[in-house]
Amino acid sequence: MKKETVNDNPLLCDIETGMCGPADESTDTTAKSTIRSTKKSVKVIYYTDPICSSCWGIEPQLRKLKLEYGDAIEIEYRMGGLLPDWSYNSGGIGKPSDVATHWDEVSVHYDMPIDGDLWLEDPLDSSYPPSIAFKAAQMQDNEKAILFLREIREMVFLQKKNIAKWEHMEAAAKKVGLNIEQFKTDFNGKAKSLFEEDLKLGRELGVRGFPTTFFLDDAGNKEIVYGSRPYAFYEMAILKLNPNATKGEYNKNWETLFSKYATLTAKEFSELSGTPRDESEKQLNELVVKGDLEKHTTKNGSIWIRKNNSI
């Protein structure tokens, strides 16, 4: 018999549910009339956090969803505030070093590179600063904000960088082309209140763990996908709300995929290209040998990077 456990620890991710955060069955699944789809047929409200390992785990599904249903959906990124501070002790995790082993296990489960040694070498005190930084990026440019979020995730999961430190947030903002002076002003100003608005809406919607993904249509109908799920779950949610949504075709060769996404893991490349997982890594490594890609390796997997001007 499976032992039932209660998870009230924000950093403990349940591998079965694919959810990071406290377990709670009281999530409000009733449609909220305050949320409506706007331009496209289905609005997606994606509650996440920069250090949410299960959210890193669904990057392959989200990237594919954008390629296939980008014309039908509008994704709105909201920050959930996974780690306010360390003023708790539950679920076997009470200090940063406890997260290290957990992240290593999650990395294997999701087949996405995550180096838990961050929590031994330079742990974060809170995920609030990078969350506020994301809101500051959003104030400038939504597309650049999504690139910024990806950048800081690669920093924290693969490069073991404490993304609560300004130097790393600033470096990520520079890399994606944000105006740094404005970014800093907004980070120290309005971005905090925007983050607080995300937290407030999350409470209203009953968000208790991450990722939580809401799919809504203009009539207020709602589908919810909790945690990390296979691609079909997200596709089904769209088609329930809009049965006429057409799956877009896209070129699955490596040049096209790396022109759309500058970095890909083997799991992402497999998901997007339709290449079997074992073959995807082999193909990516061959492209490194040819000089088309660069490879960054961690103790729990690798990521492949498009070389400048190679495509």
* Pair of tokens at residue 24: 């709670």
CATH number of 254-306: 1.10.10.10
Q: What per-residue string of b and e applies to 95-119 under the rule 16 or more CB within 10 Å gives b?
A: ebebbbebbeebbebbbbbbbbbbb
Residue 18 banded pLDDT, cuts 50, 70, 90:
confident
Q: What DSSP designation does 276 have?
A: -
User: Please, which residues bridge with residue 306 across strands?
Assistant: 293
Locate the domains of the chain by residue range: 32-205, 254-306
Cα–Cα nearest to 285, from 309, 271, 265: 265
Per-residue pLDDT of 150-188, as tens digits, reads: 999 999 999 999 999 999 999 999 999 999 999 999 999
CATH 3.40.50.720 fits 32-205, yes or no: no
In the prediction, which pLDDT does 90 show? 60
Contacts 24+ apart (CB under 8 A), 267-270: 267/60, 267/110, 267/111, 267/112, 268/59, 268/60, 268/63, 269/304, 270/60
Per-residue pLDDT of 91-131, as tens digits, reads: 667 889 999 999 999 999 999 999 999 999 999 999 999 99
Q: Is the pLDDT of residue 299 over 80?
A: yes
Phi, psi (5° rounding) for residue 295?
A: -125, 130
- Give the start-end residues of each E strand in the chain: 13-14, 19-20, 42-48, 73-79, 212-216, 222-226, 263-265, 293-298, 301-306
